[in-house]
Each structure stands twice: as C-alpha cells, then as structure tokens.
Amino acid sequence: MLIINVKDDESIDRALKRYKRKHQKTQLRQELMRRKNFVKPSVKRRHEVLKAVYLEQKFKDVL
C-alpha cells in the first residue's frame, strides 16, 4: 500500500499528483495486468521483435 504524507502547506491536488507518480513508478498496474492476462512466451517474444522492428524503422530516418 502506498502512503503519501500530506504536508501542512500542500494542496490535495499536489499530493494526489505525488501519489499518481509514485503509483506509476511502482508499476503496480502493469504487474496486475500481467498477472491477470497470461501471455505465452512465444507471443511475448513476437511482440518484442515487432516492437524492435518498429523502433528501428522509426529512428532510421532520424539518424
């Protein structure tokens, strides 16, 4: 469980922003989705290869 201490002079919006940032850094949501939906290793590898090909084509024009 994430705990955010709200300081005396801090607004709730700022504290909520810190909470969201901390939540994202822990990658809690990604872990929950990964556990909820099982992906076969072969499918995961295929996705990685396609992503690498896409990024290579995208940055080929830049360099």
pLDDT of residue 63: 66
pLDDT one-digit tens code per residue, 27-55: 887 888 889 988 899 999 999 999 999 99
Residue 22: pLDDT above 80? yes
The CA distance from 59 to 63, in Å, is: 6
pLDDT of residue 34: 84
Residue 5: pLDDT above 90? no
The encoded tokens of residue 4 equal 């955010």
3-state class (DSSP) for residue 48: helix
Number of Cβ within 10 Å of residue 15's Cβ equals 14
What string of H, E and C letters represents the secondary structure of the chain?
CCCCCCCCCCCHHHHHHHHHHHHHHHCHHHHHHHHHCCCCHHHHHHHHHHHHHHHHHHHHCCC
Domain assignments of the chain as residue spans, ordered by start: 12-60
